[in-house]
Structure 1
Amino acid sequence: METCMEISEKEPDIMANTTLQALVKDVYGNSTLSPAVTTPIYPPEFYALNSVTNFLNTFYIWVIFAVGFPGNVLSVVVIIRMSRQRLATSFLYVAVLSIVDNLAIILKIIFNQSHQKKFPIDETGCQFLTFFGLTCPAFANWILIIISAERLTAVAFPMKVGLIWSLKKATGIMVGVFLFLALIHSHIFATVTHYESYTCTVKGAYHQYLIPFWYFTSATIYSFIPAVSIIIFSTLIVLLLRRYSKQRRRISVGEPAQTEAQRQERQITIMLVILAVVFVILTIPRCVYVILQLNMCPDERDYMCVERKKFFDSITTQLADTNHAINFYLYFLSGRKFREEFMKLFRCGRVPYMEVTNGSTQVSEIPVAESGM
C-alpha cells in the first residue's frame, strides 16, 4: 500500500514530464526537425528502469500472494494444532500475526488492482482502503514488537513470564495497539479522496502541510519504531541467552521436566528472534529510503534522477512487503516442533517401524515423539 507521499509523488513526476515536453516543443519549433516530435528521446537506462519499476508495481504483489497467503493459512492451522496441549501467548501472537499478514496482502492486492483501474472505486472506498491498508501492515509490524518484548521477558524472568504476559493481558495489549494505530490513521477519512488519474490520494487542500507530516508519521509507525525496537529487544535476548545458558544447565541438572520446559522456551525464543532479525533486514532499506528521499532529485526536471528514485521507492516497498509472506517458512526452518506438527498434517501423526518377533517381521506404529518448538 502506498503512503500518501508515495501517491502524491506522481504529480511532480507528471508535471516534470509535461515541462520537458513543452521545452522540446519550443526548441523543435524553430528547428528543422519534424513538428510531429513532441516528446524527448530518453536514454536506454530510462526505459529499462521504467520497465522494471512498472513490473514490480504490477506483478510482485502476486508473487507475495502466491508465496505468503497459503503459508500464513498453514501457520494458523499448525498453531491451532500446537495449542491443543497448551495455549501459550507465543502461539496467540503467531496466529494473529499470520491472520493480519494475510489481511495486509489482500488489501495490497485490492489497492494494486484499483490503481491499475481493474475496477472502479469511489472516495469512500479509497478512504477505507487506505485506512486499513496502512493500519494492518503497521499492526503486523507492531505484533513483532510485542513478540520480541514477550520473549525478552521470558528470557530475563522465566519464572514470572506467565504472570507478566498472561493470555488476557496479551489480548488486551494487542487490542490497545490496534486502537492506537487506528487513531493515528483516522485522519484518512477526512483527508483522502479519489482522483481519476491517481486513484487514491490526498485532497488538494491538505497537500502543503499534511503530506510531509503524514509521510514521516506513517513511516515512523510502520518501519522506524518497529525496526529500532526489535533490534534492541533481539540484542538483549541474545546477550541474556549467552549469559544464562551455562547457569541454567547447572541448575536444571537432574530435573528432566524443567530441562524440557526450558529447552522448548529456548526453541521458541530462537525461532521468534530469527523472525525479528529477518524483519529488520528487509525493513532497513525502506528506512534508508525514507530518510534520504527528500534530498533526492532537487530538480524535478532531471528525469533520470526521478526514475531512479521511483525504482528505489518500488524495490524497498516490495522488500518490506515480503515480510508478510515469509514467516511460515521461517517457522518451518527454525522451529523443530513447528516442523513436526506440519508434517503430521500429511501423515496422521504416526510412523511405521519394523519389528522382528520370533523370526517374523511385523510392521507396527508408534506415535511421533513430542518435542520442543
Structure 2
Amino acid sequence: MLTVQRRNNRLQGVLVLLGLHENREYSPSLMKEAGNLATVITISRMRHFGSFVMYVALLAIADNLAISVKILFYQLLLHEVAIGAAGCRALQFFGSVLVSYCNWVLVLMAIERLVAVRYPFRIHFQSCLSGRKTACIVIVVGIIISLLCLPILWASEYDPTGVKCHVKNTPLLQTISWISSTIYFFIPFTILAVCNFLVAREIRLSFRLRNSFRSVHNFMVGRRSSDVPIQKQIMIMLFTATFMFILLNFPICLFLVFHTHWVATIGTASYDWKYFVQQIAYLLSDSNHAFNFYLYFLSARKFRAHFTHMIVTCERRHKCSKCADERYQLRRLQGT
C-alpha cells in the first residue's frame, strides 16, 4: 500500500510540474492564442486575399474557438457548475467538431498546395472563383464533420453527484471513439501524407528538369547549385509538418480507441497511470493547434514579411508617439 501511495504521489508531482494537474489547457493556450491572434491581425491588414490566405485565417479562427470551448468546458466542471445534460452534450459536440475541423482545414491547405504545384497554370485561371469556391468547400466540410459527430448528442450524459460529463460505456461509445479517431486523425493524416509526398515529388522533378535545362544551355553552375537549399527547405517543411501531425495527434487517437478496455478503479495505481496517459495525450493534441501558427504561417515568406512589417510599423508609431509626448512636455516646461 505504501509503494502504491508513493507511486501515486510521484505521478501527481509529475502532473503538477508539467502543468497538467487541473490546468492542462493553460499550458499551450497562451502560445496558441498569441500566434492565432497575430495571424488574424496580419491577414486583416493584407490587401489581397487568395484561397490559401483564407484557409490560414480560418485555421487560426477555428483553433481559437476550439481552445476557448475546451477551456470553458473544463473550467465549468472544475468549479462544479451545474451545466446539465444539455450543456455537456453541446460543449462536447462543438469541441469535437472544432478540433476535427482544424485538421481538415490543414487537409484543404495540403490539397491546395498540391494543385498549385501540379497544375500551376490552372490555379491562375480559377483565381476569380477562388473565394466562392473556398467558402463552399469549407462549409460542406463543416457540415459533414458535424453530421459525423452527431452521435455524441445521444451518448453524452451529466452526472450531478460528481459534477462531471461522461459517455455511457456501451457499443455506441466504441462507435463514437472510432468515428472521432477516423475523422480527427486517420483520414486527415492519410491525405496529408499523400499530398505532401506528391508535392515533394513534384518539386524534386521540377528542380531536376530545371537543372538539366540549364546544363544543356550552359548556364552558370553557381546558379544551379543555389536551388539546392531552397529544395531542402521545402522538403524539410513538408516532412516536419507531417511528422508533427503524427506526434501530436496519434497518442490521443490510441487513447480514445483503447481507453474503454483499460478498466481502472479510482484510487489505484492503474487509475493514476491512466489519468497520466490521458493528460499527456490531450496536452499533445492541444499543442497541435499552437504549432499550426509556426508551421503554416511563419514558414511562408509572404506571411512572414507582412508580419514583420506590421511589427516594425507598430514599433515606429510607438516611438513617434513617445517622442511627440516628450516634445510636448518640453514645450510646456519652456513656456512656464
Structure with bigger strand share is 1
Q: 1:57 to 1:172 in 2, by over 3 A?
A: farther
Q: CA deviation at 1:107?
A: 0.6
Partner of 1:335: 300
Q: CA deviation at 1:146?
A: 0.9
SS of 2:83's partner is: coil
Partner of 1:92: 54
Q: CA deviation at 1:186?
A: 2.0
Q: CA deviation at 1:242?
A: 0.8
The partner residue of 2:63 within 98, 101, 111 is 101
Contact residue 231 and residue 280 of structure 1 kept, 8 A: no
Alignment of 1:1-373 (within 5 A): 40-41=1-2, 42-53=4-15, 55-82=19-46, 84=47, 86-117=48-79, 119-163=81-125, 166-196=130-160, 197-202=162-167, 207-247=169-209, 274-290=240-256, 293=259, 296=262, 303-331=268-296, 333-348=298-313
SS of 2:311's partner is: coil
CA distance in structure 1 between the aligned counterparts of 2:153 and 2:181, rounded to whole angstroms:
19
Q: Taking structure 1 as the reference length, what is the TM-score of the superposition?
A: 0.69
Q: 1:328 to 1:52 in 2, by over 3 A?
A: same
Amino acid at match of 1:309: K
Q: 1:189 to 1:296 in 2, by over 3 A?
A: closer
Contact residue 85 and residue 157 of structure 2 kept, 8 A: yes
Could you say what the CA RMSD is over the residues aligned between the two structures, in angstroms? 3.3
CA distance in structure 2 between the aligned counterparts of 1:186 and 1:293, rounded to whole angstroms:
21
Amino acid at match of 1:201: H
How many residues get paired?
Answer: 296
Structure with bigger helix share is 2
CA distance in structure 1 between the aligned counterparts of 2:120 and 2:63, rounded to whole angstroms:
29
SS of 1:60's partner is: coil
Ranges in structure 1 where 5+ consecutive residues have no aligned partner: 1-39, 255-263, 352-373
Q: CA deviation at 1:347?
A: 2.6
SS of 2:55's partner is: helix
Q: 132-141 or 191-200, which moves further after superposition?
A: 191-200
Q: 1:117 to 1:348 in 2, by over 3 A?
A: closer
Q: Taking structure 2 as the reference length, what is the TM-score of the superposition?
A: 0.76
Amino acid at match of 1:106: S
SS of 2:157's partner is: strand
Which structure has the larger Rg? 1
SS of 1:247's partner is: helix
CA-to-aligned-CA distance 1:7-39 (integer Å, 9 cap, x gap): xxxxxxxxxxxxxxxxxxxxxxxxxxxxxxxxx
Percent identity between matched residues is: 30
Q: CA deviation at 1:214?
A: 1.0
Contact residue 81 and residue 163 of structure 2 kept, 8 A: no
Partner of 2:326: none
Q: 1:122 to 1:248 in 2, by over 3 A?
A: farther
SS of 1:193's partner is: strand
Q: 307-316 or 318-327, which moves further after superposition?
A: 307-316
CA distance in structure 1 between the aligned counterparts of 2:238 and 2:314, rounded to whole angstroms:
25
Contact residue 223 and residue 286 of structure 1 kept, 8 A: no
